[in-house]
Amino acid sequence: MSEHYSARVMRLSLLPVAASLLFFSGGLASQQAPIVVGSKNFTESYVLAEIMAQTLEFHGLTVEREFGFAGTLVAFEALRAGEIDLYAEYSGTISQAILQTDSEFDGPALVAALAPLGLEPLEPFGFDNTYAIAIMPALAQTLRLERISDLRAHPTLRLGLSHEFRDRADGWPGLKRAYSLPQESSGLEHGLAYQALLEDEIDVTDAYSTDGDLVRYDLRLLEDNLGYFPTYLALPLARGDLDPRARAALASLAGSIDAAQMRALNAEVVVNGRTFADVAAQFLAGRGLATGTPQPRSRLQERLLANVLVHLKLTSIAVLAATLIGLGLALSVYRSPTVSKAVLYTAGLLQTVPSIALLALLIPIAGVGQVPAIIALFLYSLLPIVRNTITALITIDPLLQRVAVALGLTQAQRLRVVYLPLALPHVLAGIRIAAVVSIGTATLAAFIGAGGLGEPIVTGLALNDTGLILQGAIPAAALAITVELMFEVLERWLVPPHLLTRQAVS
Amino acid sequence: MSEIIELHDIRKRYGETDVLNGLSLSVRADVVTAIVGASGSGKSTLLQIVNGLVRPEQGRVVVFGAPLPERNLVETRRRIGYAVQGTALFPHLSIVRNMSLVAEVVGWDEERIGARALELMTLMDLEPGLGNRYPHELSGGQQQRAGICRAMFLKPEILLLDEPFSGVDTLTKGEIHARLAALLAVEPTTVLLVTHDIGEALTVAADLIIMQGGHVEQRGAVTDVLAAPASGYVRALLGQGHAA
């Protein structure tokens, strides 16, 4: 039995290599340059992305969908890095968040400002999704409120505004000054504001002008008669090297959606629970822009399998790399207590950086997509592996170490035949912890467009769709349990049982 | 006749404490020399100075007729067997692999390893079937005999025994002593046995080195020491006490 012990250890080291090769070769077998359409993780961005994607498909182009980037910064970095070719952005956001200027750009100025970045704003869709002030229709009627300046005459109106709007310079403080509004405001969660309006807790709130919930609650928007709010014209933001055929195809969308229509499309999703793809297909069919038959949605099992494979790819590469480098690191430092402590401290520090923050920090260095996700997972995996290996090596019975030296084994031979096999149960436990934690953490990687089982979770969060969230969460949990069990089998296969029972799982 | 082990004026300190204090001794080849003394008398350190596990601050260590090399002791150590208290068998390896670890490394083939293992196990009265067991599956006495087999596997010229038989009952100890004597009769080896058990020393050894406080109190053939203890300490150790 024990004679095969080291042979098994050798074979073990080949398994993950083979597995990751399989994944890589699978990833390479793609077709010629599909156009990658991205989206941020809120309803309107998804709907516009679907509309663009289906328009491109209608014109015979191959499209890949990379949806659900966590916010402007991530989506924009993905675009710059070439991970995606285009996504829907807003002129105001481009000016403020991306170009970081206070001045508002329109048409030619925006084109000129983005050209040095290798990016190009295409023709706007035709609506302005800016801030808006919303009230219940009955109140509007009673008080004859039509414009924001009408609010001045009613100082007792209760304003409940979202925290962000109250804080932004171009939000409430500026608005109050520009219109000389007498009211004070209170802050609340945006998601609760509509409910508060319905229940007559507040009279006025802020909204986005194309918010689907405006349709759901039949709210009135007050006209920004002083033109205070910056314009947020929605437009396809594309790479300068976008395929001319794609450019031509997207030109057909210019000026095709007004604010009311966008509100209605958003409402189809958030109120009626239809998919982005369906809503987009219906819109395009109505304009004669599509065949009327929506792109057949891939079956649940196929999407599930694809997500699981990406998830496995992310975690297996990260954990494999962390195993190799972690073992090497542990072996090179374990004999110096000072260096060991420094290494463990650093790895521990990395562990305390929240996953989302680490992913965000990696964007300027490694861009978005799978590479930074793998780097982040790798960094998280290092600590358990390095810690367990160092701990196992420094706690080997000193008498056994003395005898190993006295027998006339060289340092390398002692490591190979005595120390590493003795440390193996702890090392395996460290790798197991790293693998299971990585599977959980990898769901967050969808926020930077890495795909995997986090993708349905991110989309589900944007839509508040529990079913979709579970499509990611359940397989992720199942995967974690499966990996846990696989490691148990592996341990039983590799480690003599009497060594396994003594092992303390840290 | 040149001595196989010679120590000259050895001094070793651990922190503030002198463990060995100007110790000199030599050992006759192919006989068992027992080093006896109370705990803390530096016996175990002395053994580790012979195979270079411990380096003295001062003094000369001569092994196999030459000074112990400063570095690269691997070859020298393979000529010196070492067995310790508590057996220190590697828990993840079978009994045979424990014994043959170094033989494997230096390239013995399976057949040669099997033959040598069988030979030693027979001499030490270990059933061949025990070879494939893990150490924890053996009794304490069997483990200690396996520890001797491991130390003797490469037919070393020197065998260092650091209280390897403590912790078993007297009866088992007696059997192991007999087996060791049988093995040494077939394969004469210079043995340095550290023990605090004077009875064991008198049974197994031909020569005695009696240590106290980091120096040699008395050395000589067992019969000579017994006949003429050099001091009260030696007399007390030999159990002759005031009655002698």
Model confidence pLDDT, tens digit, residues B101-154 = 999 999 999 999 999 999 999 999 999 999 999 999 999 899 999 999 999 999
pLDDT at position A476: 95
Q: Is the ipTM of this complex over 0.85?
A: yes
More confident residue, A473 or A70: A473
The alpha carbon dihedral of A431, A435, A437, A438 has a sign of: positive
Q: Residue A37: in which H helix or E strand, if any?
A: strand A35-40
For chain B, what's the residue count? 244
Question: pLDDT above 90 covers what percent of chain A?
Answer: 46
8 Å CB contact of A2 and B97: yes
Chain A nearest C-alpha distance from B83 (Å): 8
A136: phi then psi, degrees, rounded to nearest 5: -70, 145
Q: State pLDDT tens for residues B188-209.
A: 999 999 998 888 999 999 999 9
**pLDDT bucket at A298, cuts 50 / 70 / 90:** low
Q: Does the pLDDT of residue A22 top 50, yes or no?
A: no
Which one, of B192, B80, B82, B95, lies nearest residue B146 by Cα?
B95
- Report the mean per-residue pLDDT for chain A: 85
Residue A18: pLDDT band (50, 70, 90) is: very low
Spatial distance between the Cα atoms of A453 and A312, rounded to a whole number of angstroms = 9
DSSP A34: P
For A492, counting Cβ atoms within 10 Å of its Cβ (0-12 exposed, 13-18 middle, 19+ buried), the class is: exposed
Residue A220, strand partner residues: A135
Supply the pLDDT for residue A31: 46
CB A454 within 8 A of CB A443: yes
- Across the interface, whether the CB atoms of B74 and A5 are under 8 A apart is answered no
Weakest-pLDDT range from A17-31, A386-400, A483-497, B97-111: A17-31
Report how far residue A126's alpha carbon sits from residue A234's, in angstroms, rounded to the nearest whole number.
7
Q: What does the pLDDT read at residue B122?
A: 94
Of B101, B134, B136, the CB nearest to A407: B101
Q: pLDDT of A197-230, one tens digit each?
A: 888 889 999 988 898 888 888 899 998 888 888 8
Contact A331, A323 (CB under 8 A): no
Whole-model pTM: value is 0.73
**Cβ–Cβ < 8 Å for A409, B101:** yes
Q: Provide the Cα torsion B26, B30, B31, B35; round to 10°.
A: 40
DSSP B93-119: S-HHHHHHHHHHHTT--HHHHHHHHHH
State the average pLDDT over residues A264-289. Answer: 87
Confidence of residue A105 (pLDDT cuts 50, 70, 90): low
d(CA B233, CA A280): 102
Say if B82 is an interface residue toward chain A (CB within 8 Å): yes
Confidence (pLDDT) at A448 = 84
> Two tokens at A119?
């990016």
* Inter-residue contact A142 to A271 (CB < 8 Å): no
Instruction: Write the CA distances from A303 to A68, A118, A215, A452, B23, integer angstroms.
Output: 15, 33, 32, 10, 79
Neighbours of A485 (CB within 10 A): 10
Residues in chain A: 506
The identity of residue A397, as a single letter, is: D
Q: Cα(A388)–Cα(A164) distance, rounded to whole angstroms?
A: 44
**Distance (Å, whole) CA A307 – CA A427:** 29
pLDDT of residue A477 exceeding 90, the answer is yes
Which positions in chain A touch B77 (Cβ < 8 Å)? 405-408
CA distance A134 to B133: 81
Question: Do A77 and A42 contact (CB within 8 A), yes or no?
Answer: no
What is the Cα gyration radius of chain B?
18
Contacts of A398 (CB under 8 A, 6+ apart): none
Helix (H, G, I), strand (E, B), or coil: what is residue A99? coil
Which residue from B84, B105, B136 is facing A403, i.e. has the nearest CB?
B84
Structure tokens at B95: 């009994």
| Identity of the residue in A1, A400, A498 whose CB atom sits nearest the CB atom of B90 | A400
Using the Cβ of B88 and the Cβ atoms of chain A, whether some distance falls under 8 Å is answered with: yes
Integer angstrom CA distances of residue B195 from B42, B45, B47, B173: 11, 13, 11, 13
Kindly determine whether residue A413 and residue B84, on different chains, have CB atoms separated by under 8 Å.
Answer: no
Task: Give me the pLDDT at residue A470, please.
Answer: 92
Question: Could you tell me the pLDDT band of residue A442, with boundaries at 50, 70 and 90?
Answer: very high
Of B91, B92, B102, the CB nearest to A409: B102
CA distance A57 to A50: 10
Q: What is the pLDDT of residue A187?
A: 87
Of A208, A62, A193, A198, nearest to A130 by C-alpha is A208
Whether the CB of B186 is below 8 Å from some CB of chain A: the reply is no
CA distances from B66 to A410, B6, B54 (A): 22, 9, 18
Would you state the pLDDT for residue A500? 77
Q: How many CB pairs lie under 8 A apart between chains A and B?
A: 74
Judged on CB neighbours under 10 Å (0-12, 13-18, 19+), A500 is: middle
A2 and B134 within 8 Å at the Cβ level: the answer is yes
Q: Cβ-count burial of A300 within 10 angstroms (0-12 exposed, 13-18 middle, 19+ buried)?
A: exposed
Please give the structure tokens belonging to residue A87. 């996504």
Q: Which of A400, A408, A421 is the closest to B74 by Cβ?
A: A408
Chain B partners of A420 at a C-beta cutoff of 8 Å? none
Q: Residues A386-406: what's their mean pLDDT? A: 93
